[in-house]
Homo-oligomer: A and B are copies of this chain.
Amino acid sequence: MDVDTRLLRYFAAVAEEGSLTGAAETLFVSQPALTKQIRRLEEDLGVRLFARSRSGMALTEAGRELALRVPALLDGWDETVQATGRAARVLRLGFLDAGAVGGVPEVIAEFRRAQPEWRVELRQFDWSDPSAGLARGEVAAAVVRLPFPGQERFTVRELFAEERGVLLSARHPLVNSETVEFWELWDEPFVAAGAGTGAWRGHWLAAEERDGHPVRVGAVTSLPDEWLGAVAGGCVALAPASAARFYSHPDVVFRPVRGVSPSRVGLARPRGRTHEAALDQLLEAIACRLTGS
């Protein structure tokens, strides 16, 4: 019997979440799509995996058996993807925002001169996956913003921290302040990441620094341009200081904010995997550069 690993990830999400609706949200697909897929998986296997009820989906015994084994299968596949990349002398790195990887391209250029047989690919991921491709085994390592959900599955080396500020529409009244107090923003409509990103979304809404004041979400985006667009459209968004340098937009201005924690940038890689000397070397060089800056 054949399956798509995507279907296994769907299953794992539903099993963990205990509900189609919830899992659909974290997976960024519609609930009917999940309903259909899970049903198809059951049909293909010829086995009932969930007991449906008004309150959600509970695993059957067969479902538990499957849930027990799926993570290892997915890990095995992800590991295989990485190994294949290594064999082809390809190092893939993920990142989320240009600010975090500032000097990395230069480091890569240098590395390429030292190790010409290796090819380095730097790939940007959108904010639907705060692990920048690590979670799905798409990259060997990633420059990430800490903390991110699922972080405990990886080895993370913190590189530096930078102050966070706010991006405002140029027509926003607070533009006139040199520095903004965070409480001044509490009632503003914020740009948020997708709901699937859990605590990461919360961190960028500074949910913990609001003294319990509720969050107003004005837009949900997952790409830089959408993000800036939403700000130009009147929303506000917390952003690392580097965003001011890397993302410029005629109608958007950056202001430092007092009262929010800084953003920490780290280098993450799967834990306990085969070590590749070239990757170690590249990561070391990146760490040196970014820590220094």
Contacts and interface: CB of A to CB of B under 8 A. Distances in A.
Contact of A1 (B3, B66, B137): B137
B80 A76 contact: no
Contact of A90 (B5, B47, B72, B76): B47
Nearest to A5: B2
Contact of A45 (B2, B49, B66, B85): B85
A278 interface: no
Contact of A61 (B60, B65, B76, B88): B88
B138 A81 contact: no
Contact of A2 (B1, B6, B49, B76): B6
A281 interface: no
Nearest to A133: B1
Contact of A60 (B1, B62, B85, B88): B88
Contact of A64 (B45, B60, B87): B87
Given A69-B80, A73-B76, A46 B92 contact: yes
A64 B138 CA distance: 20
A84 interface: yes
Interface string A149-182: 0000000000000000000000000000000000
Contact of A76 (B72, B78, B88): B72
Nearest to A66: B84
A121 B45 CA distance: 12
Nearest to A70: B80
A4 B85 CA distance: 19
Interface of A: 1-6, 9, 45-49, 60-62, 64-66, 69-70, 72-73, 76-78, 80-81, 83-88, 90, 92, 121, 136-138
9 contacts: A1-B138, A2-B4, A2-B9, A5-B5, A47-B88, A62-B85, A65-B87, A69-B76, A70-B80
Given A49-B84, A62-B84, 7 more contacts: A1-B78, A47-B85, A47-B88, A65-B86, A66-B87, A69-B84, A72-B76
